[in-house]
């Protein structure tokens, strides 16, 4: 009783009489707004729009995105806060996808760290830098599962696995939004693109998707659910139609699942012109019809196409209740109040100067980049290179590129602030090493330079802006003349280490056979050149693992590790089994693959059985000569269930650091929820025996 009174007293003193909650403030403001002012809050423009300033002053605007500096942002904000009738601040947004000014590896590279704390740290730093300029919303993380490397946007996500994807999604949300969204260095995160965008047919961007509810729920939605559970404030819809219904007006996704099942309370943004594009999908005849469909499905904000302007007439003429507009405006205003935008609408030029490219940020970018690099192959330990090498040839179009280090979506990152691989090598190699360079455009020159060298580092791949949006490929060979260059350089007989910069897997089948060492570096960010050199010369032991399967050929796509079994599994001695007559089934490099300069040995796998949860544990020992980090991965298989289950599913992973000779016991807990699957309209857990693998060891457990 006494405790209750005490609690009540604390509550009363903490909430002074008349104190308003955010919802009270929103209601009070909404009550004063005209229909046009409410619709203004639903609109989102880029600064290039001609009538933008006029609109900001006249009705106010929900969001402006694509601006850079505090000076520019503040100038625009002043119009909203000083000239508009209700002084509602603009929410400034930007595509801060893998860093703001300090650029981190592309998200697929961050996923290759298998280290959610790295994702969180990169997002925290991005939030600090962006918020200093007045950007309080980012269109990140992209949490689309992607099983098709032809799709250029695989670069922007965490790859093919829902468990890894869900862990990364939550980490980004925590990083961007911080502990308290009202803190001046917190920004709203945006989980995108809701949903199934990564399943675009034929890997062609913006193409349609068609999938079962089981695959949607089990594979494509878990990272979104994880972002919502982590408290994400916003979602962006996808460009595609899902089973014939555009995601931008998909009530099943936006109402049934997002709002009703998951209890999401933030706001939903459309993608760029996607509302009006419903006319192209053939599900709306006019812009007004498209707008009504989108807003009634719960798309609160309209990106760029301004079709929500048509809603004013729709309300006035009785085709749409004003309450629908109120609901969306309320959600957007709630976010603005929660951010503290009404109290602190401006960017801070002094903080901007101090935060952008701060030494601690550059240091984090280098460390995270180091962890993202995946050593695919290392025959006779060609890598790491000795710092005493006499002559080193750096060959290839990407060998000295700063620009391409940044990858797609470099926000406010600048090429001149990035470190190319050549610069990284120059800073790390020994003083006596002679470095010869060729961009590989003239193959003869490259070959001549290779002949003079003791070791060749061949830096191939795609350009940074050839990954990401609208960069689908029908072929996954090394672009241009790079395969010829590779073959000519290898033909010199010199030891060649291939370094590939790319936003996706390539079908490097020839290289996998003929080149002794291959390091996959993604686009490693501002400090990429240093990070790659750190690994090439052995100052850092590589520890990245593939977050996506590498196919042998485009013909194998879609290829992903957690596929369903078939009634006729591949049997090379039997003709009528599930296989190709001209290719093996297995990938070139599987999901989870990645080598180290040391070796890890797994022993003593134990799996308990239980009712609610089981524990699985194993010893992992560094059995080599140098310190290293290993990503311990746990996979399960449910061999008999009422629906076919994937041949393997990742259920846990942990990064462990081990000194030479050191052993650690790693333990995982697997509960019923981890093993449940979507079946006949709901999540089902079916008790029974499960197979389990950790680091090549196999066991089993029973969960009753």
Alpha helices for 456-564 (secondary structure H)? 482-490, 509-514, 528-536
Q: How far is the CB of 302 from ligand NOJ (least distance, A)?
A: 13
Tell me whether residue 599 is exposed, middle or buried, using C-beta atoms within 10 angstroms of its C-beta: 0 to 12, 13 to 18, 19 or more: middle
11 membership: H or E segment, kind and range: helix 2-14
For the window 224-243, what string marks contact with ligand NOJ as x by the rule CB under 6 A?
--------------------
Q: How far is the CB of 178 from ligand NOJ (least distance, A)?
A: 21
**Separation CA 269–CA 250 (nearest Å):** 13
For the window 571-600, what string marks contact with ligand NOJ as x by the rule CB under 6 A?
------------------------------
**Separation CA 50–CA 53 (nearest Å):** 8
Decide whether 95 or 352 has the Cβ nearer to ligand NOJ. 95
Of positions 45, 92, 139, 561, contacts ligand NOJ by CB under 6 A? 139
Restricted to residues 469-508, the positions that interact with ligand NOJ (CB under 6 A) are: 469
Of positions 27, 182, 207, 272, contacts ligand NOJ by CB under 6 A? 272
Catalytic status, residue 465: no
CB atoms within 10 A of CB 569: 12
Q: How far is the CB of 229 from ligand NOJ (least distance, A)?
A: 22
Q: How far is the CB of 616 from ligand NOJ (least distance, A)?
A: 38
Decide whether 469 or 534 has the Cβ nearer to ligand NOJ. 469
- List CB contacts of 80: < 8 A, sequence separation 6 or more: 56, 57, 60, 61, 87, 88, 89, 90, 345
The most distant pair of C-alpha atoms in the chain lies apart, rounded to whole Å, by 88
Decide whether 95 or 462 has the Cβ nearer to ligand NOJ. 95
**Separation CA 318–CA 85 (nearest Å):** 27
Decide whether 272 or 346 has the Cβ nearer to ligand NOJ. 272
* 269 makes contact with ligand NOJ (CB under 6 A): no
Q: How far is the CB of 408 from ligand NOJ (least distance, A)?
A: 10
CB atoms within 10 A of CB 201: 11
Q: How far is the CB of 93 from ligand NOJ (least distance, A)?
A: 8
Of positions 37, 271, 302, 649, contacts ligand NOJ by CB under 6 A? 271
**Which residues pair with residue 518 across a beta bridge?**
377, 498
Of positions 55, 89, 95, 489, contacts ligand NOJ by CB under 6 A? 95
Decide whether 240 or 527 has the Cβ nearer to ligand NOJ. 240
Q: How far is the CB of 272 from ligand NOJ (least distance, A)?
A: 4
Decide whether 471 or 596 has the Cβ nearer to ligand NOJ. 471
694 membership: H or E segment, kind and range: strand 688-694
Decide whether 139 or 264 has the Cβ nearer to ligand NOJ. 139
Q: Which residue is nearest to ligand NOJ (CB)?
A: 139
What's the N-to-C CA distance of the chain in angstroms?
A: 42
How far from the centroid of its chain's Cα atoms is residue 334's Cα?
26
Tell me how many residues contact ligand NOJ (CB under 6 A).
6
Decide whether 352 or 469 has the Cβ nearer to ligand NOJ. 469
**Separation CA 491–CA 456 (nearest Å):** 12
- Residues 2/7/10/14 CA torsion (nearest 10 deg): -160
Decide whether 412 or 545 has the Cβ nearer to ligand NOJ. 412
Q: Are 703 and 607 in contact (CB under 8 A)?
A: no
Q: How far is the CB of 335 from ligand NOJ (least distance, A)?
A: 17
Q: Are strands 245-246 and 628-637 parallel, antiparallel or unpaired?
A: unpaired
For the window 451-470, what string marks contact with ligand NOJ as x by the rule CB under 6 A?
------------------x-
Q: Of the listed 271, 302, 404, 638, which one is catalytic?
A: 271
The closest of 414, 368, 364, 355 to 168, measured between CA atoms, is 368
Residue 553: asked if its preceding bond is cis (omega within 30°), the reply is: no
How far from the centroid of its chain's Cα atoms is residue 596's Cα?
24
Decide whether 169 or 631 has the Cβ nearer to ligand NOJ. 169
Read off the tokens for 227. Answer: 């972002």
- List CB contacts of 642: < 8 A, sequence separation 6 or more: 679, 684, 686
Q: How far is the CB of 269 from ligand NOJ (least distance, A)?
A: 9
270 φ, ψ (degrees, to nearest 5): -85, 170
Restricted to residues 164-223, the positions that interact with ligand NOJ (CB under 6 A) are: 192
The closest of 162, 160, 158, 170 to 117, measured between CA atoms, is 170
Q: How far is the CB of 201 from ligand NOJ (least distance, A)?
A: 17
For the chain, give the number of residues. 704
Catalytically active residues are 271
Task: List interacting residues with ligand NOJ (CB under 6 A).
Answer: 95, 139, 192, 271-272, 469
């Amino acid at each position: 009783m006494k405790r209750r009174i005490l609690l009540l007293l604390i509550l009363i003193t903490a909430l002074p009489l008349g104190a308003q909650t955010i919802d009270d403030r929103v209601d009070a403001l909404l009550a004063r707004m005209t229909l046009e002012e409410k619709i203004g809050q639903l609109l989102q423009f880029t600064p290039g729009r001609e009538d933008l300033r006029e609109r900001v002053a006249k009705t106010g605007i929900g969001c402006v995105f694509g601006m850079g500096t505090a000076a520019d942002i503040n100038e625009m904000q002043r119009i909203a806060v000083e000239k508009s009738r209700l002084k509602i601040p603009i929410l400034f947004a930007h595509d801060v996808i893998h860093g703001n000014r300090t650029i981190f590896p592309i998200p697929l590279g961050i996923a290759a760290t298998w280290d959610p704390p790295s994702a969180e740290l990169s997002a925290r730093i991005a939030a600090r830098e962006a918020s200093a300029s007045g950007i309080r919303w980012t269109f990140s993380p992209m949490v689309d599962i992607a099983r098709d490397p032809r799709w250029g946007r695989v670069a922007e996500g965490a790859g093919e696995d829902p468990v890894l994807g869900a862990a990364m999604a939550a980490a980004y949300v925590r990083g961007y939004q911080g502990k308290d969204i009202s803190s001046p260095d917190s920004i709203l995160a945006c989980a995108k693109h809701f949903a199934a965008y990564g399943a675009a047919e034929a890997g062609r961007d913006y193409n349609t998707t068609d999938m079962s509810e089981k695959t949607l729920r089990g594979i494509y939605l878990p990272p979104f659910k994880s972002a919502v559970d982590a408290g994400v404030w916003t979602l962006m819809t996808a460009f595609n139609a899902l089973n014939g219904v555009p995601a931008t007006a998909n009530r099943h996704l936006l109402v049934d699942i997002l709002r009703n099942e998951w209890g999401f309370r933030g706001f939903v943004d459309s993608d760029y012109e996607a509302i009006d594009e419903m006319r192209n999908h053939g599900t709306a005849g006019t812009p007004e019809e498209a707008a009504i469909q989108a807003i009634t499905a719960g798309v609160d904000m309209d990106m760029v196409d301004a079709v929500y302007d048509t809603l004013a007439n729709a309300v006035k003429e009785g085709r749409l209740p004003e309450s629908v507009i109120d609901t969306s405006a309320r959600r957007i205003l709630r976010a603005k109040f929660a951010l503290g935008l009404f109290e602190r609408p401006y960017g801070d030029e002094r903080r901007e100067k101090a935060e952008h490219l701060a030494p601690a940020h550059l240091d984090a970018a280098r460390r995270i980049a180091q962890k993202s690099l995946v050593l695919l192959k290392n025959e006779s330990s060609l890598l790491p290179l000795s710092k005493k090498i006499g002559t080193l040839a750096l060959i290839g179009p990407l060998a000295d590129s700063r620009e391409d280090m940044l990858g797609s979506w470099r926000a406010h990152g600048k090429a001149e602030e990035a470190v190319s691989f050549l610069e990284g090598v120059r800073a790390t190699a020994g003083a006596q090493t002679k470095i010869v360079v060729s961009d590989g455009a003239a193959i003869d020159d490259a070959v001549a330079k290779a002949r003079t060298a003791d070791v060749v580092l061949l830096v191939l791949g795609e350009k940074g802006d050839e990954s990401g949006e609208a960069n689908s490929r029908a072929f996954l060979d090394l672009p241009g003349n790079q395969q010829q260059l590779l073959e000519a350089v290898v033909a010199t007989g010199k030891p060649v280490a291939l370094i590939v910069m790319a936003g996706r897997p390539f079908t490097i089948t020839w290289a996998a056979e003929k080149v002794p060492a291959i390091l996959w570096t993604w686009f490693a960010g501002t400090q990429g050149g240093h990070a790659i050199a750190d690994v090439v010369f052995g100052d850092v032991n590589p520890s990245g693992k593939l977050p996506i399967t590498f196919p042998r050929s485009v013909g194998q796509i879609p290829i992903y590790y957690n596929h369903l079994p078939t009634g006729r599994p591949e049997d090379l001695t039997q003709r009528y089994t599930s296989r190709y007559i001209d290719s093996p089934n297995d990938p070139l490099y599987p999901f989870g693959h990645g080598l180290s300069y040391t070796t890890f040995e797994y022993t003593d796998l134990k799996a308990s059985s239980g009712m609610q949860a089981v524990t699985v544990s194993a010893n992992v020992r560094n059995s080599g000569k140098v310190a290293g980090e290993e990503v311990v991965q746990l996979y399960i298989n449910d061999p008999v269930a009422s629906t076919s289950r994937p041949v393997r599913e990742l259920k846990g992973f942990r990064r462990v650091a081990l000194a030479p000779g050191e052993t650690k016991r790693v333990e995982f807990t697997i509960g019923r929820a981890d093993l449940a699957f979507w079946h006949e309209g709901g999540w089902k857990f079916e008790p029974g025996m499960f197979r389990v693998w950790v680091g090549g060891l196999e066991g089993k457990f029973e969960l009753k």
